[in-house]
Amino acid sequence: MTTALLTDQYELTMVDAALKDGTADRRCVFEVFARRLPDGRRYGVAAGLGRFLGALKDFRFGDEEIGFLRDRGVVDAATARWLEEYRFRGTIRAYREGEMYFPNSPVLQIEGSFAESVVLETLALSILNADSAVASAAARMVSAADGRPVAEMGSRRTGEWSAVAAARAAYIAGFGATSNLEAGRTWGIPTMGTAAHAFTLLHASEEEAFRSQLAALGTGTTLLVDTYDIARAVDTAVRLTDGVLGGVRIDSGDLPSVVRAVRSQLDALGARGTTITVTNDLDEFTIAALRGAPVDAYGVGTSVVSGSGHPAAGMVFKLVARESAAGDLEPVAKKSVDKATIGGRKWAGRRLSGGAAIAEVIRVEPTSVIDERPLLVGVAEHGEVDPRWLGTDGVQAARRHHRGAKQELPADAERIGRGDPAIPTLVV
């Protein structure tokens, strides 16, 4: 399926005008960056690169798409012919997926002709803004969980394909599993799930429902114990499994006190190996509040797929350099109030001291600095996408990279409370 019409109209009207005035082939550099982090956040997590590169491979204008554009009067005949032959043939550099980013970090850099590059704005921003928002929220939840596993289960709280993308982004940021089967199939993410309250309500009694689930899934399953009376459900669950039940899930109530009561009850009944999973509209703050409770695992839905209050990462797509009359790249920048940009193609590095990050350094001239880890890597050359960043292998590589990049941050970056960016951004 083509991705070409996942595009705002003004991108094509700009191409139409540039073809007419002769500027369409002028070499340009566009960059994607966030001017600031969401209020109070200490870092962002770049996600969506693999999805963007996959979508780029399918960015083609066929007869149906061009017919639609012509019928709407969006482009003229000459531009339609140009679109028929469209292939991105430029170069793309980017922060690796799973990398941490900060204000003004050039997370994506597209170099090519004006026309072939500008049409990618909406495709890039729609993917990177959504996926980075989810990954950034998920990373905070993983920190709050303090080593306990967290699963994504938010498919019912967002669009059907957004759910698949969100599961992918959360997994890259450290979640261990998803309830979404399409995400499991497409991206190789471990999947999980047992039963909802509807299954208990289907049966004549809670015990009958538990017996059915145990017969189907075995004693290692997790039983949902808060449909009626939690204490009675826990007693029934332990009795039916002779104390070897895999786990119980709690989806309601005052979680800190309920969890402690359930843990005490399980231990008193001899079910010391039975784990406790909590769900119930969790976010990073409620997870942090449960840190002292005997919780073994968390399931997060609405909050993670919505970016925990910040559904978009605030990234923008801006032209930063254009070809001069002499054939060189010259910086260009906006001067708008509160929206000024930094001209010139950037080089970015993470300044380290003893292996710990101390600054994000953005340069407008190339350099090689020993104490900076380079952040931009080549992901497409002459329009050919490097397959290392795609598919399930790309997801696993991003997950591994995120783990290492997060470990570089200062210890206070893990704090969930409001604060300034964990490291400063230096533009030199």
Give the orientation angle of helix 230-241 with respect to helix 206-217, to 10 degrees. 40
Give the rounded percent of residues in the chain with a pLDDT score beyond 90.
94
User: pLDDT digits over 262-320, tens only?
Assistant: 999 999 999 999 999 999 999 999 999 999 999 999 999 999 999 999 999 999 999 99
- Average the pLDDT over 366-378 and give the result: 84
Looking at the predicted structure, is the pLDDT value of residue 53 above 90? Answer: yes
pLDDT computed for residue 271 by the predictor: 97
* Predicted confidence (pLDDT) per residue in 260-272, tens digit: 999 999 999 999 9
What is the DSSP pairing of strand 297-300 with strand 275-278?
A: parallel
Phi, psi of 115 (to 5 degrees): -65, -45
- Of 174-183, 302-311, 369-378, 390-399, the poorest mean pLDDT is in 369-378
pLDDT band at 371 (very low <50, low <70, confident <90, very high): confident
**Least confident stretch, 117-121, 160-164, 389-393, 413-417:** 413-417
Lowest mean pLDDT segment, chosen from 9-18, 333-342, 348-357: 333-342
Flag whether pLDDT at 369 surpasses 70. Answer: no
pLDDT of 156 > 80? The answer is yes
Residue 101's SS3 state is strand
**What pTM was estimated for this model as a whole?**
0.96
Q: H-type helices in 152-306, by residue range?
A: 160-172, 181-187, 197-202, 206-217, 230-241, 255-268, 284-289, 302-305
Reading the block at residue 394, the tokens are: 């790309």
Residue that wins the pLDDT comparison between 128 and 334 = 128
Residue 366 — pLDDT band, cuts 50, 70, 90?
confident
* Cα 327 versus chain centre, distance: 38
Domains and CATH numbers, the chain: 9-134+310-427 (3.20.140.10), 194-295 (3.20.20.70)
**Residue 365 has what pLDDT?**
78
Measured CA to CA, the distance from residue 100 to residue 111 in angstroms comes to: 23
The C-alpha atoms of residue 366 and residue 416 are separated, in whole angstroms, by: 36
How far is it, in rounded angstroms, from Cα 226 to Cα 251?
7
User: What is the pLDDT, as a whole number, of residue 340?
Assistant: 87
Question: For residue 249, which of 196, 205, 291 has the smallest C-alpha distance?
Answer: 196
As a whole number, the mean pLDDT across the chain is 96
Bridge-based pairing of strands 247-250 and 222-224 is parallel
Write the CA distances from 24 to 122, 124, 196, integer angstroms. Answer: 18, 20, 56
